[in-house]
């Protein structure tokens, strides 16, 4: 588990809204062809953050663990050209976005399970 604090409900809603309406920052993967698994995993995670549907599919496929490993690998592979530092930074940014979405989805599911359905009378 991460030691980072949970995002505020406002931040989660803002991130989810940005993903849903297409206003999330668009960072394209590096033009360099990704030859290693870490770069490929991070590029796929970045691509998923630009579209709510892709992000949901990414999360449903359980790919956050692979992203965690990729970020760790990129962070430990410090190179003189700063490519790995940039790769790790991009991976951490994608991971933050995806985790905020995951939190929002889990909160929404919890809220919908604890609220009566629209149009149904509650006891």
Condensed to tens digits (0 to 9), the pLDDT of residues 17-37 reads: 777 777 766 655 443 444 478
Q: What is the C-alpha separation between 53 and 32, in angstroms, rounded?
A: 26
For residue 51, is it within any domain? yes
Read off the pLDDT of residues 49-87 as tens digits, 9 standing for 90 and up. Answer: 888 888 888 999 999 999 999 999 888 876 545 667 888
CB atoms within 10 A of CB 63: 17
For residue 4, is it within any domain? no
For residue 118, is it within any domain? no
For residue 60, is it within any domain? yes
For residue 117, is it within any domain? no
Record the tokens describing residue 33, joined without a space.
Answer: 């062809």
Threshold 0.75, pTM exceeds = no
For residue 24, is it within any domain? yes
Q: Is the pLDDT of residue 107 over 50?
A: yes
Q: Give 69 or 119, the one with higher predicted confidence.
A: 69
Residue range of the domain that includes 99: 9-107
């Amino acid at each position: 588990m991460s030691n980072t604090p949970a995002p505020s409900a406002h931040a989660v809603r803002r991130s989810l809204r940005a993903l849903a309406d297409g206003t999330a920052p668009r960072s394209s993967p590096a033009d360099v062809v990704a030859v290693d698994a870490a770069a490929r995993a991070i590029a796929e995670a970045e691509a998923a953050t630009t579209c709510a549907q892709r992000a949901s599919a990414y999360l449903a496929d359980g790919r956050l663990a692979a992203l965690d490993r990729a970020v760790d690998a990129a962070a430990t592979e410090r190179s003189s050209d700063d490519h790995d530092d940039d790769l790790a930074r991009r991976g951490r940014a994608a991971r933050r976005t995806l985790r905020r979405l995951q939190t929002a989805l889990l909160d929404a599911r919890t809220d919908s399970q604890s609220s009566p359905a629209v149009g149904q009378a509650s006891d």
